């Protein structure tokens, strides 16, 4: 039964992998494995003798990894890009299976469990994002995980973490874990491997290495808009919450120190309870896996940038919670697994009528990984064990969840907490979804009778407001929530002759305020019930 169950799950894994790869390859060429396209183009750029970090792909993306990553990527250009895309997808799927096999000790080591973990990881949003963009996060996670769990021979442990860190810097946090866990030799080997790889990068690409380590490494803005919802890091969440730029670094550093520090301390506690077994030992305890995954989650928290493909560690943490004993952990793991598989902001957009709830849904992955770091992958087991009945445990989970949701429901967040906000300009006027006002209200009159007239269009994850203003209006402002900073809405002559139009979108309009001003600063009109269009 075990064998048949495992075979069925692996068949499902293969079907999901094939379907995912087919969907990726069916995308238009300009959108297919766009990050891999950046790697490939950057490698050709360097091969032509041009500076690595001056390269910008046709899709606008630069190369952001350390020089050693390019040393590894350059040989891949011997293949045509189309062939490389197929190979990359195959290697990525194989890496998922290898990751699942690496954590088998936490799931009893059974074949069914390994196949189930592989399926769960593959259907998750981080895995699908890796496949869609052609990212290398699977390989970085696999290197660090294999090393931290102790699957490598004792005399080589730490080397893979050093190599992973030379490709992407965040695995350096595992060096701190090795020191806390009483593995100083592993830490030393990791640092030595990292330094050796950096020297290889410097030898092959000296000018690029100098440029990277003396400046480019600190330019996090090169990877894109850090306030975008896809950046599910603490830093990104604080940006979306509208935290003052002057205090943001201090607040972010404090939160990282507390949350990542707690995860490292919990990992240390787990590490002190076992001895890493020899490589190849099949009867491996669960603690090494839990400790490694906790540290991996800490790397997600500590990084200022955490795109979906970086969050494989969080999926593994969810699976570990599901596999533990106790209602609390399993419910938490199930919820986290859902969060890491679907976009709650999109799926539940119709019911998130409050800015706080919308903010919670859109930042659920950042909050989830922070909760894992603070509570541990089963770190709440002791508390759950003290609960005498499953019914009482379930009731506590429900009460706490309802209380947190209620807090977010009434929370008046600033305008910066509305990451979907955008005011449209003339460049967007060709899209009829953005500008429909003049068609409805222009009529024979050159301007609307009222100072402002608008209509509302509801979509899955946002609301669109389109309108026209009278000649007396010289400035139009929108605030997403009370106390939030004002957003200036451009007033545009889309159709001439005709009234000036405006168009913007927002997550929801429940607490929004639209205000029109005259040239002398007088308030001409204000609207707080934006869900109801003007006549």
Give backbone dihedrals phi and psi of 516, rounded to 5 degrees, phi first.
-110, 135
Helix or strand run (H / E) with residue 403: helix 390-410
Biggest alpha carbon distance in the chain?
Answer: 84
pLDDT of amino acid 379 = 43
3-class DSSP assignment, residue 219 = coil
For residue range 144-190, what is the model confidence (pLDDT) as tens digits?
999 998 888 888 999 999 999 999 999 999 999 999 988 999 999 99
Q: Which has more pLDDT, 192 or 280? A: 192
Closest CA to 71 of 210, 200, 217: 200
Q: Name the burial class of residue 400, with classes exposed (0-12), middle (13-18) and buried (19+) by CB atoms within 10 angstroms of its CB.
A: exposed
- Burial (Cβ within 10 Å: 0-12, 13-18, ≥19) of residue 381: middle
Q: Are 223 and 399 in contact (CB under 8 A)?
A: no
> Could you give the C-alpha distances from 414 to 225, 342, 404, in angstroms and in order?
19, 26, 19
In angstroms, rounded to a whole number, what is the distance separating the alpha carbons of residues 290 and 171?
16
Q: Which residue has the tokens 């404090």?
A: 254
- By mean pLDDT, which of 55-64, 124-133, 209-218 is the weakest? 55-64
pLDDT in tens, 336-378: 888 898 877 666 655 555 666 777 777 888 888 998 898 877 5
- In tens, the pLDDT along 479-506 reads 876 555 678 899 988 777 778 889 998 8
Question: 530 and 512 in contact (C-beta within 8 Å)?
Answer: yes
Helices 287-302/364-375 angle, 10° precision: 130
Highest mean pLDDT among 208-217, 413-422, 476-485: 208-217
Which of 95-99, 319-323, 413-417, 465-469 is modeled with the greatest confidence?
Answer: 95-99
86 or 457, greater pLDDT: 86
Cβ neighbours of residue 200 under 8 Å, at least 6 residues apart?
Answer: 68, 71
User: What is the reported pLDDT for 535?
Assistant: 63
pLDDT at position 59 over 80: no
Residue 297 pLDDT > 90: yes
343 Cβ contact partners less than 8 Å away, ≥ 6 residues apart: 125
Q: How far apart are CA 82 and CA 443, in angstroms?
A: 54
Whether the pLDDT of residue 39 is over 80: the answer is yes
**Mean predicted lDDT score pLDDT of the chain:** 81
Residue 53 burial (CB count, 10 A): 22
């Amino acid at each position: 039964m075990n064998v048949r169950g495992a075979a069925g799950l692996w068949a499902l894994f293969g079907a999901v992998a094939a379907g995912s790869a087919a969907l990726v390859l069916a995308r238009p060429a300009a959108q297919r494995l766009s990050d891999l396209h950046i790697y490939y183009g950057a490698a050709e750029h360097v091969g032509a003798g041009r500076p690595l970090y001056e390269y910008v792909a046709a899709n606008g993306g630069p190369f952001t990894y350390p020089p050693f990553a390019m040393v590894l990527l350059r040989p891949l250009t011997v293949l045509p890009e189309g062939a490389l895309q197929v190979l990359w997808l195959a290697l990525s799927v194989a890496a998922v299976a290898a990751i699942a096999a690496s954590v088998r000790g936490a799931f009893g080591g059974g074949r069914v469990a390994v196949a189930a973990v592989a399926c769960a990881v593959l259907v998750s949003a981080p895995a699908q994002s890796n496949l869609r963009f052609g990212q290398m996060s699977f390989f970085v996670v696999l290197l660090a995980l294999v090393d931290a769990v102790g699957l490598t021979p004792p005399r080589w442990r730490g080397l893979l973490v050093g190599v992973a860190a030379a490709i992407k810097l965040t695995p350096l946090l595992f060096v701190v874990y090795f020191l806390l866990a009483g593995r100083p030799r592993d830490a030393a080997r990791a640092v030595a491997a990292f330094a050796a790889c950096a020297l290889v990068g410097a030898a092959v690409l000296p000018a690029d290495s100098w440029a990277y380590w003396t400046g480019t490494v600190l330019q996090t803005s090169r990877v894109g808009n850090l306030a975008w919802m896809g950046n599910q890091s603490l830093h990104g969440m604080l940006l979306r919450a509208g935290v003052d730029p002057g205090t943001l670094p201090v607040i972010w550093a404090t939160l990282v120190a507390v949350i990542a520090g707690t995860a490292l301390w919990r990992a240390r506690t787990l590490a002190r309870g076992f001895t890493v077994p020899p490589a190849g030992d099949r009867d491996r305890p669960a603690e090494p896996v839990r400790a490694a995954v906790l540290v991996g989650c800490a790397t997600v928290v500590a990084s200022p940038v955490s795109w979906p493909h970086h969050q494989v560690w969080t999926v593994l943490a969810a699976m570990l919670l599901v596999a533990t004993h106790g209602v609390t952990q399993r419910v938490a793991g199930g919820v986290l697994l859902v969060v890491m598989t679907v976009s709650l902001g999109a799926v539940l957009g119709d019911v998130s009528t409050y800015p706080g709830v919308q903010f919670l849904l859109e930042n659920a992955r950042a909050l989830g990984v922070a909760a894992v770091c603070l509570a541990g992958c089963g770190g709440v087991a002791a508390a759950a064990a003290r609960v005498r009945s499953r019914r009482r445990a379930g009731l506590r989970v429900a009460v706490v969840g309802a209380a947190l949701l209620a807090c977010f429901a009434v929370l008046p967040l600033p305008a910066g907490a509305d990451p979907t906000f955008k005011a449209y300009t003339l460049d967007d006027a060709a899209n009829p979804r953005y500008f429909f006002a003049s068609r409805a209200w222009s009529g024979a009159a050159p301007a609307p009778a009222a100072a402002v007239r608008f209509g509302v269009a509801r979509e899955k994850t946002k609301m669109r407001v389109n309108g026209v203003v009278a000649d007396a209006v010289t400035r139009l402002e929108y605030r997403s929530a009370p106390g939030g900073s004002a957003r200036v809405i451009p007033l545009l002559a889309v159709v001439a002759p005709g009234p000036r139009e405006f168009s913007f979108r927002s997550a929801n309009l429940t607490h929004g305020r639209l205000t029109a001003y005259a040239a002398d600063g007088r308030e001409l009109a204000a609207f707080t019930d934006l869900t109801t269009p003007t006549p």
